[in-house]
Amino acid sequence: MAGKRGALIVLEGVDRAGKTTQCKKLVQALQQNGRPAEMMRFPDRSTTIGQLISSYLEKKSDLEDHTVHLLFSANRWELVPLMKKKLEQGINLVVDRYAFSGVAFTSAKPGFCLDWCKNPDVGLPKPDLVMFLKLSPTEASLRGQFGEERYETSVFQRAVQQKFEHLMKDASVNWQFCSLGLPILPLTAFHWTWTPNDVIDASASIEDVHEDIATHSLNTVSTVENQPLGELWK
Ligand code: NYM
């Protein structure tokens, strides 16, 4: 590798957990620390595939469940060349949702198993850090605009959260273990069983959550800059 590469940092969580706000603040914090950073989000609604997805989410069109799952995945794959280019240029990417949302949302529907849902995303650029923002579905439903798009019901979000919990047990993914106010330790240092306290608590203040996320991210950026990018679920 010619120079230092950027880190691929993903924020995940149920709807309305504050991921977008935190992604924006993280990009600013990285830049202020002299680390080039850009934000991306999935779905990226600006592409042709993204427009199909957007119309589905806004309930303007219906799509068969397998079909829309594959479209969400295709929407990630179509951005992979750009992501790799930016990472190689040393730009850190802060990504609002990734394959974990893809798997959690589809597998929360009846008749879908986790393995089928993961398959289309196997081999995507592997995030160097995935942080999950925890928020109870009840609290999420009290936040703005809940209920306007497809999937935005407390019952469905509860099912999605359970699927995320399952995905977080996968030690091959760089989920970060942290609690506000406690020292930061890599998840791999533990034989870890997920409990609701082991993730970033999105009901804490925006600034506290930000501090936590920024600390994890800056550590990751320094750690991975000379390491090759991995492949997800491979
Ligand atoms: N979603 C998002 C999926 O169902 N599959 C995916 O692969 C991804 C990335 O789309 N309810 C769902 C989660 C959200 C919605 O909302 C996107 P937003 O506000 O654009 O993050």
Burial 20-45 (b: 16+ CB within 10 A, else e): ebbbebbbebbeeeebebebbbbbbb
Residue 176: the pLDDT is: 83
Task: State what percent of residues in the chain have pLDDT above 90.
Answer: 74
Architecture of domain 8-98+123-145+167-224: 3-Layer(aba) Sandwich (3.40)
Ligand 1 atom closest to the Cα of residue 97 is: 9
Q: How far is the CA of 99 from the centre of ligand 1 (A)?
A: 10
Please report, for residues 44, 53, 74, the alpha-carbon distance to residue 48 in angstroms, rounded to integers and kept in the order given. 10, 9, 11
Extents of the domains making up the chain:
8-98+123-145+167-224
Residue nearest to atom 3 of ligand 1 (CA): 102
Residue nearest to atom 17 of ligand 1 (CA): 43
pLDDT band at 17 (very low <50, low <70, confident <90, very high): confident
**Interval 66-102: pLDDT, tens:** 999 999 999 999 999 999 999 999 999 999 999 999 9
Q: 144 or 197: which carries more pLDDT confidence?
A: 144
Q: 135 or 191: which carries more pLDDT confidence?
A: 135
Q: How far is the CA of 78 from the centre of ligand 1 (A)?
A: 16
**Interval 154-193: pLDDT, tens:** 899 999 999 999 999 999 999 985 433 333 344 443 333 4
Residue nearest to atom 13 of ligand 1 (CA): 101
Contact 201, 209 (CB under 8 A): yes
Ligand 1 atom closest to the Cα of residue 72 is: 7
- The answer to whether the peptide bond before residue 127 is cis (omega within 30 degrees of 0) is no
Mean pLDDT, the chain, whole residue set? 89
Q: Is the pLDDT assigned to residue 199 strictly greater than 80? A: no
Mutate to test the pocket of ligand 1, among 105, 106, 130 (most ligand atoms within 8 A of CB): 105
pTM, whole model, 2 decimals? Answer: 0.91
Residue 197: the pLDDT is: 45
Residue 228: the pLDDT is: 98
ipTM associated with this complex: 0.99
Ligand 1 atom closest to the Cα of residue 43 is: 9
Residue 184: the pLDDT is: 39
**Interval 29-63: pLDDT, tens:** 999 999 999 999 999 999 999 999 999 999 999 99
